[in-house]
A and B are shown apart, each in its own frame.
Chain A
């Protein structure tokens, strides 16, 4: 007794190619931008024409190479201390990328763990976590970072900490909700009937269904992390000293915006492209991974 599909024939879908097709241009574009950003950050020493902290006061405030007064040895000009703008932009990507990946991953790890706990245990654990999230989300992140900077000193650690401490709530909330939804499904009940304990159900049955959501949230969170770092370095409480950051370049560029507007503009441009890249990637991933469940 062989079954047959009585409706239109159901084809065999190869998961990867179908998913990539569903992702569409956003997936390609976003993926390309992020890949580029990663490459630039990794290969900074090879790509940058100069040492980003090397000063040459004689060559201060030079315009980009294609403008009058520019020089091809400083393709995007120099800042008020004669440092190569292009090199600084390239090296800044390292800060952006490290913050993005480290902070986002940590926030995700904490948020997902707590979200899973709250969503699966319910009861007072859920109540406690939810109230914690509510209270936490009310904190303005920038203010929190300033406080943190005051307590543990300015620097990359406090930036990452500030992002993690605030953004875990975003993950927790969404994962909690989705966990609760998935636990209502019959396949989760079926798992209980087989005698799986809570941990096994979460690990083997629920989490695979959360993966698309997590991946998407991570991509978006990385964009957010970059923005927060930019704001903090703009204000001056990110990395110390001479280390180039886009936020720092925006702050410096702002001082000389009438004489050398390209510095601020280019730094802002880098930030925008990076954040948009991560958002597009997140969007494309969501489209690529989601419909598996929607058939």
Chain B
């Protein structure tokens, strides 16, 4: 069975010359069809960059130094721009982090979903709006027809996120990259949204790469997980395994530093600074090796 997504040895750098920073240092991961893989890391770990690299949406000053990205067996990073754009939204979709800035504030909700449908599925305006209403009903928005006519600022944050989720699933993609979609949401809304994502995933059969900093979310939603730090995958495997029997000291430290509502107060252990230092030393060593190799 071909993996939906296969990233091998990806090195990404941002910036030029003395200001250059390595954001991804030889990242490898795979997502099988229908799999929900969590990509967990703290800020600066490179998880958003990985998502962007996979989508081909790296910022202008970032570049892939080496490594491959394969989507459904085809070379994705080397694909011509036009072909890749045909896949985005259709076969690969994104659920972005911030619903406020991801929706066009001057276009109605229905029009925005319809635009995606018409672009990829060549539906007529009426068909697209009809389908949009169906999608909104699927993400449990009451009175979908009414919401189609509303502007993004007229609906709540939770609803905006649902609209984005609906848009992501609209064309039945085989892979969805979810970039911290629940980070800004209230915890009760987050639960509803995660339940929704799972339900839609089962119905549409998509694989999901779920980017987050929250180990709890990973535990509930993702069957497998990759732990990222300083642009490197330190540990990966089945979520149940990684969370109960973590192999890498960083994973262990992260779990120990996560406050838990069901454990007494003094169970919290900070991440030892020496561990972080050694991880960074390791990362910089990899940088030097990579430079030497390229020379």
List A residues at the B interface (Cβ < 8 Å): 2, 4, 6-8
Contacts and interface: CB of A to CB of B under 8 A. Distances in A.
Contacts of B42: 6
Contacts of A7: 43-44
B44 A4 contact: no
B276 A4 contact: yes
B277 interface: yes
Contacts, number: 11
11 contacts: A2-B273, A4-B273, A4-B276, A4-B277, A6-B42, A6-B44, A6-B276, A6-B280, A7-B43, A7-B44, A8-B21
A2 B273 CA distance: 9
A7 B42 CA distance: 10
User: Which 5 pairs show the lowest CB-CB distances between chains A and B?
Assistant: A7-B44, A4-B273, A6-B276, A8-B21, A4-B276
Nearest to A8: B21
Contacts of B44: 6-7
Given A2-B273, A4-B273, 9 more contacts: A4-B276, A4-B277, A6-B42, A6-B44, A6-B276, A6-B280, A7-B43, A7-B44, A8-B21
A2 B43 CA distance: 20
Interface string B257-295: 000000000000000010011001000000000000000
Nearest to B21: A8
Contacts of B273: 2, 4
Interface of B: 21, 42-44, 273, 276-277, 280
Nearest to A4: B273
A7 B277 CA distance: 10
A194 B42 CA distance: 34
Contacts of B276: 4, 6
Contacts of A6: 42, 44, 276, 280
B48 to A, nearest CB: 14
Contacts of A2: 273
A6 B273 CA distance: 8
A8 B280 CA distance: 9
B71 to A, nearest CB: 30
Contacts of B43: 7
A6 B42 CA distance: 10
* Among A2, A6, A7, residue most surrounded by chain B Cβ atoms (within 10 Å): A6
A6 B270 CA distance: 13
Nearest to A7: B44
B275 to A, nearest CB: 11
A261 to B, nearest CB: 48
A7 B43 CA distance: 9
A294 to B, nearest CB: 16
A18 to B, nearest CB: 13
A6 B277 CA distance: 8
B19 to A, nearest CB: 10
A6 B280 CA distance: 9
Contacts of A8: 21
A7 B44 CA distance: 7
B4 to A, nearest CB: 32
A73 to B, nearest CB: 55
A4 B273 CA distance: 7
A8 B44 CA distance: 9
Nearest to B43: A7
A4 B280 CA distance: 12
A189 to B, nearest CB: 22
Contacts of A4: 273, 276-277
A2 B42 CA distance: 20
A4 to B, nearest CB: 5
A181 B251 CA distance: 41
Contacts of B21: 8
A103 B215 CA distance: 61
